[in-house]
Structure 1
Amino acid sequence: MNRGEPTVVIVPGLRDHVADHWQTHLAAALDSVIVPPLERDKLSRQARVAALDEVLHRVRGPVVLVAHSAGVITTVHWAQHPTREIAGALLVTPADLELPLPAGYPSTADLDDGGWNPIPRRRLPFPSTVAASRTDALGGFRRITGMAEVWGSRVVDLGDVGHLNPAAGYGPWPRGLQLTYELLATVSEQRSA
């Protein structure tokens, strides 16, 4: 791909692509690229970072990342040794993989074995916005906003949105589209300045 406008690269969480997920709707509304699901090693942080890196190397021109849940953590791990420039990132309801997750999610021990922990706590090498929920069972607001501060991210308080997934009542999420458009506009303004 080769274009002057930023390409949106969507980074899903551990459940990959869910038909009625807001990221799936966002992908349909925008010209975007989605990091594909893994065929094996689904709990391997290294495999997920490599999949993101592979997608990023196929995209030419500026890139904006839109990540959700463990996709945020994939992005943050990738950013510790970036292999290309990123224009900006929208990091939505990061999953706090260092603490036990609710039933039905991987155990902390499995996530540790997969190389997810500790979650990196260094400033990201690109502008970012963390959209945080006050009622997310996968990440407490105070811990997530603390991570955002260390990452150098702007925080958007989403209020009571749970984990912002279909189980929380979110398929289409107009605010996500709005935040993505705002990020794209900011990137375009910076490039033309």
Structure 2
Amino acid sequence: MKSSNVLILPGWQGSGPGHWQSLWEQRHGYRRVEQHDWMQALRGDWIARLEDVLLERDEPAVLVAHSLGCVLAAAWAAHTRHPTRVKAALLVAPADPELPQLRASLHSWAPVPLQRLPFPATLVASRDDPYCAFERARLFAHAWGAQFMDYGEAGHINAESGLGSWPEGHVLLQALAND
């Protein structure tokens, strides 16, 4: 797996310096898809940005999505005319923008697309994620055709979860990318 083939898709408000996505960028040279506005997350803008980055590339990418980045991957896949631009995706701790506490801030993200992804994916979910109920994450995995992984009680699987650079997650990425 070439590091240039891996694209990092952070969630709403981006991934801070202690987040495993940021640590993977530093350690492995992966590229973050920078959004124009991390605080005002508009689905159409984020999809357009991802499409632009994917079309600039010579080879299909492997997506590493966290939180709202997972919904971005599904929304992009549901709307693109270039589905072969993605080889596979690791979807970690998807956010549920239909939750009452997220609905006002993420209004353009509902409803969550539930079409099957046109590429292999693994979805990793936590049983105590405050931004997505476990059974809802399982529903997303099923609808998207993703392999589902129960990661136990790990919160939002972010910097606050104490995972550091999350080597176990990187093993999952390598397995997915090398299939």
Same fold per superposition (TM over 0.5): yes
- TM-superposed CA distance for 1:43, in Å, is 2.0
Residue number among 119, 123, 126 corresponding to 2:112 in the alignment: 119
How many correspondences in the alignment? Answer: 177
2:107 paired with 1:109: no
Question: Residue deviations 1:102-155, cap 9 Å, x none?
Answer: xxxxx412322xx10000111111111101111101111111101110111100
Name segments (4+ residues, structure 1) moved above 3 Å. Answer: 3-6
Stretches of structure 2 lacking an aligned partner (at least 5 in a row): none
Aligned to 2:129: 136
- TM-superposed CA distance for 1:45, in Å, is 1.0
Alignment of 1:79-90 (within 5 A): 79-82=77-80, 83-85=82-84, 86-90=86-90
Aligned to 1:190: none
Stretches of structure 1 lacking an aligned partner (at least 5 in a row): 102-106, 187-193
Distance 1:40 1:8, change over 3 A: closer
User: Which one has the bigger helix percentage?
Assistant: 2
Question: Residue deviations 1:65-110, cap 9 Å, x none?
Answer: 1100001111111010222411111000000111123xxxxx4123
Question: TM-score normalised to the size of structure 2?
Answer: 0.91
Amino acid at match of 1:58: E
CA distance in 2, matches of 1:28, 1:163: 21
Give 3-state SS (helix, strand or coil) of 1:123's partner: coil
Question: TM-score normalised to the size of structure 1?
Answer: 0.84
Contact 2:12–2:68 at 8 Å: present in 1 too? yes
Amino acid at match of 1:173: W
Task: State which structure, 1 or 2, has the greater radius of gyration over its C-alpha atoms.
Answer: 1
- TM-superposed CA distance for 1:39, in Å, is 4.0
What is the root-mean-square deviation of aligned Cα atoms in Å? 2.0
CA distance in 1, matches of 2:178, 2:66: 21
CA distance in 1, matches of 2:39, 2:22: 22
For structure 1, which segment, 27-36 or 61-70, has the greater mean C-alpha deviation from structure 2 after superposition?
A: 27-36
Give percent identity, aligned residues only: 37
For structure 1, which segment, 41-50 or 91-100, has the greater mean C-alpha deviation from structure 2 after superposition?
A: 41-50
CA distance in 2, matches of 1:32, 1:58: 16
- TM-superposed CA distance for 1:5, in Å, is 8.2
Aligned to 2:157: 164
Aligned to 1:185: 178
Give 3-state SS (helix, strand or coil) of 1:159's partner: coil
- TM-superposed CA distance for 1:42, in Å, is 2.4
Contact 2:20–2:163 at 8 Å: present in 1 too? yes
